[in-house]
Amino acid sequence: MGGAKGLDVKDLRRRADKIRMHVIEMTSEAGSGHPGGSLSSADLFAVLYFHVLRHDPKDPEWEGRDKFVLSKGHVAPVLYAALAESGYFPVDELLTLRKIGSRLQGHPVKGKPPGVEMSTGSLGQGLSMSCGLALAAKLDKKDTRVYCLLGDGELQSGQNWEAMMLASHYDLNNLTIFIDRNHLQIMGSTEKTMSIDPLAYKLRAFGLRVISIDGHDIKKIIKACEKARSSSSPTAIILNTVKGKGVSFMENNADFHGRSCKPDEKEKALKELTERMSSW
C-alpha cells in the first residue's frame, strides 16, 4: 500500500518524471489526447499514488481504500500512467490508449482499467461525485478519504460551486479538492476566457479551507495533504502549476492542451525528461 512507505522525495520526483514520459509516449502513440494538463499534474499523481493514498493495486476494490476522482477527465493519460506504475495493470497496456477495444478510453471509465473510481470527462461533475463518496463514508462511519482533482478552467462550470456549497454544509472534512491552477484552457488564458480569480477568496467564501502551494513541490504537496487530513472542514489545495511542466517547448503552451507530440517532438520531450529524471 502506497501510504505505508517512508518519504523519499527523490524517488517521488523520479516517479513523476516517469509518469510524464508515459504520458508523452501514450498520447503520441494515440495521435491525440491531452498532454499539457497531464504534465502539470504529474507531481500530484506521484505523491498521491506513491505516498498519500491508502490503496492496494492488487485489490482495487479493497474496502479500506481512499478514493481519487479525476474530475478533469481529459488528463486520463496521467491517471492511467500512475495506475500502471502502481501495478494496477501492465505498463505495456498504456500504449493502447484511445484504441478500439482498449480499457484505456479517451476519458476515464469507472473500473476500466481497475483503479478508476468514477466515469468522468464531462467537466464539472467529479466534485459532486466526490461529495457523494465522502457522504457515504460519513454515513458508514468509515475513515475513507476522498480526493478530487479539478482543472482551473473547469471551475467555470457552476456545478462545482453547488458541490462546494454542499461539501461545506455537510462538513465533509474527509474531502480534499486539488485545483490544477495552470492558468490555461483550450482557448488560452483562463483569465481572458472567463476569469476565475480571486480564486482563494471564492473558495473560502464557499466554506473551504484553502491552501495555495507550488504544485510541483513534492514536499509541499505532502504537507498540504497532511494539513487537509486534520482539518475540520473540506480543504481545497490550489496547485500553482505550469501547463506542460517538464518539457521546455510544452511549458505554458496552450497548444498542447489537446494535441499530442509529433514523432520529432516526442523524441525531444523524452530526451528532456530522461535528463530531468537523472538530475534528481
Residues lying near other proteins in the complex (CB under 8 A) are found at: 69, 109-110, 117-122, 125-137, 139-140, 158-159, 162-163, 165-166, 169-170
Q: Is the Cβ of residue 28 or residue 160 nearer to other proteins in the bound state?
A: 160
Least distance in Å: CB of 162 to other proteins? 4
Q: Is the Cβ of residue 106 or residue 121 nearer to other proteins in the bound state?
A: 121
Least distance in Å: CB of 133 to other proteins? 4
Residue 224 corresponds to which cell in the numbers above?
498540504
The residue to which cell 476522482 is assigned: 69
Taking the CB of residue 159, how many other CB atoms lie within 10 A of it? 16
Longest dimension (CA), the chain: 53
Least distance in Å: CB of 129 to other proteins? 4
Q: Is the Cβ of residue 92 or residue 140 nearer to other proteins in the bound state?
A: 140
Q: Is the Cβ of residue 6 or residue 158 nearer to other proteins in the bound state?
A: 158
* CA pair distance 84, 91, nearest whole angstrom: 5
Least distance in Å: CB of 135 to other proteins? 6
Please name the residues in contact with 185: beta carbons below 8 A apart, sequence gap of 6 or more.
151, 152, 153, 193, 254, 257
* Phi and psi at residue 39, to the nearest 5°: -70, -35
Q: Is the Cβ of residue 30 or residue 172 nearer to other proteins in the bound state?
A: 172
CB burial string 9-39: b at 16+ within 10 A, e below: eebbbbbbbbbbbbbbbbbbbbeebbbbbbb
CB contact at 8 A, 110 and 119: yes
Q: Is the Cβ of residue 133 or residue 261 nearer to other proteins in the bound state?
A: 133
Least distance in Å: CB of 9 to other proteins? 33
Least distance in Å: CB of 122 to other proteins? 4
